[in-house]
Amino acid sequence: MAPHTVAVVVDEGMHAFEFGVACEVFGLRRPELGVAWYEFRVCGPSVAAVRANEGFALQADHDWSALVEADTVGVPAAPALPEPSNPALVDALRTAARNGARMVSFCSGAFLLAEAGLLDDRPATTHWMHAPAFRRRFPRVKLHPDVLYVDDGDVLTSAGTAAGIDLALHIVRLDHGAEVANAVARRMVVPPHRDGGQAQFTSPPLPSPGDADVGLAATMDWMVANLGEPLTVADMAAHALMSARTFARRFRAATGTTPHEWLSAHRVRHAQRLLEATDLPVERVAVEAGLGSAANLRLRFRTVGLSPTVYRRRFRLSSV
């Protein structure tokens, strides 16, 4: 069986960090993992060198025509966001997508996928600071600028900088399973599975109290430490030494959400961890996570996009 080919785009002014993430995750040989690793290709406008935004030149071994034969195409960030991209590159991306390639962007690389028409009427993300410009230029894209990455099947996009690591590890998890992805993460000394925000593979970053109301922090920590208990707003308010009304008002002001929804999101995340790392029956997972019943767990898992059983089958650590 031929190895899965990952081809990464380079062009004048590319950003080195996101390109480096692709090289580290997909380009580094990992024989110790015992799986067939990726065939990695760097593709430029020609075999001549291109200059990165950080002040060095890079020699690509392949030109953009190699993109059309790849199984996965990665597009790192580039600075010239308002400017039209090279038509030859846009055409190569379109052809690769028509040929069935999985299309991936890191940070502002989403602009290039959108310019190729590959994000029309689809959910996507990019760096939050580029969101206004992105919406103006590509109104048909369903932009989610408050998430780490979006998996829409054959098209995946990530937010800025470190979110590219999250997306790359997510792709490894899809291709090789959680145990291999975790091993790669350990070698990189990064968290193996950092949630983001969209559908089954990401969720909104859970807000913490702002500097204006750090007095809530101890109660929020206590809530997380007692996820399995039937906590009410009155219980939370009593711990914070406030009335229930004052607590609810200050909690929303600090986090942008209600105490109940904040606690529920943490319970879902805890249930995800239990499904990944334990043999507990789904009914017991629901109890341990504070969701009460398997029926309520399934209801809350609608935010994940997969049923608890399917989630466990997809993301469970093979060593459990």
Percent of the chain with pLDDT over 70: 88
Answer positive or negative: Cα dihedral of 29, 111, 91, 167: positive
**105 and 25, same structural domain?**
yes
Give the Cβ contact number of residue 267 at 10 Å: 24
Identify whether residues 226 and 113 lie together within a single domain. no
Residues 163 and 246 in one domain: no
Supply the pLDDT for residue 310: 85
Residues 73 and 188 in one domain: yes
Domain edge (last residue) among 172, 195, 218? 195
Same domain for 108 and 10: yes
Same domain, 221 and 91: no
Query: Between residues 196 and 13, which one has the greater pLDDT?
Result: 13
Q: Could you tell me if 121 and 140 are in contact, meaning their C-beta atoms sit under 8 angstroms apart?
A: yes
Is the pLDDT at 23 greater than 50? The verdict is yes
Burial of 134 (0-12, 13-18, 19+ CB in 10 A): buried
Q: Which residues face 155 on adjacent strands?
A: 103
> 149, 169, 195 — which closes off a domain?
195
Mean pLDDT of 10-21: 91
Q: Taking the complete model, does pTM exceed 0.75, yes or no?
A: no
Residue 223 has pLDDT above 60, yes or no: yes
Which of 75-84, 250-259, 298-307 has the weakest average pLDDT? Answer: 75-84
**200 within some domain:** no
Same domain as 221, residue 112: no
Report the CATH number at residue 256: 1.10.10.60
Cα(160)–Cα(158) distance, integer angstroms: 7
Judge whether 158 and 178 are in contact, CB under 8 Å: no
Is residue 201 situated within a structural domain? no
> Is there a contact between 270 and 288 (Cβ–Cβ < 8 Å)?
yes
What is the bridge-based pairing of β-strands 62-63 and 123-124?
A: unpaired
What pLDDT shows up at residue 196? 44
Q: How confident is the model at residue 259 (pLDDT cuts 50, 70, 90)?
A: very high
Residue 200, pLDDT score: 32
Q: Looking at residue 205, what is its pLDDT?
A: 45
How far CA 126 is from CA of 51, 92, 316, in Å, comes to 23, 21, 29
Residue 255 lies in a domain: yes
Q: For the chain, give the mean pLDDT.
A: 86
Contact (Cβ atoms closer than 8 angstroms) between residue 60 and residue 19:
no
- Please, which pLDDT band fits residue 162 given cuts at 50, 70 and 90? confident
**CATH number, domain containing residue 111:** 3.40.50.880
Range of the domain at 23: 5-195
Residue 161 lies in a domain: yes
**Residue predicted with more confidence, 277 or 41:** 41
320/316 Cα distance (integer angstroms): 8
Question: Band of the pLDDT at 160, cuts 50, 70, 90?
Answer: confident
Q: Does residue 66 sit in the same domain as residue 184? A: yes
Asked whether residue 20 is domain-assigned, the answer is: yes
At 97, is the pLDDT very low, low, confident or very high (cuts 50, 70, 90)? very high
The reply to whether 144 falls in a domain is yes
My answer on whether 191 and 234 are in the same domain is: no
157 part of a folded domain: yes
Both 32 and 101 in one domain: the answer is yes
Of 176, 195, 214, which marks where a domain is finished?
Answer: 195
pLDDT digits (tens, 9 = 90+) for 194-212: 554 433 344 444 555 544 4
Do residues 20 and 58 make contact, with C-beta atoms less than 8 angstroms apart? Answer: no
Mean pLDDT of 266-280: 89
Residue 53 pLDDT exceeds 60: yes
User: Is there a single domain that holds both residue 128 and residue 184?
Assistant: yes
Nearest to 114 by CA among 167, 152, 147, 168: 152
Tokens for 130, please give them. Answer: 């580029």
Structural domains counted in the chain:
2
Chain centre to alpha carbon of residue 119: 17
Residue 204, pLDDT score: 43
Q: Whose CA is closest to 317, among 164, 102, 173? A: 173
Do 136 and 264 share a domain, yes or no?
no
Confirm whether 51 is domain-assigned: yes
What pLDDT, on the 0 to 100 scale, is given for residue 164? 92
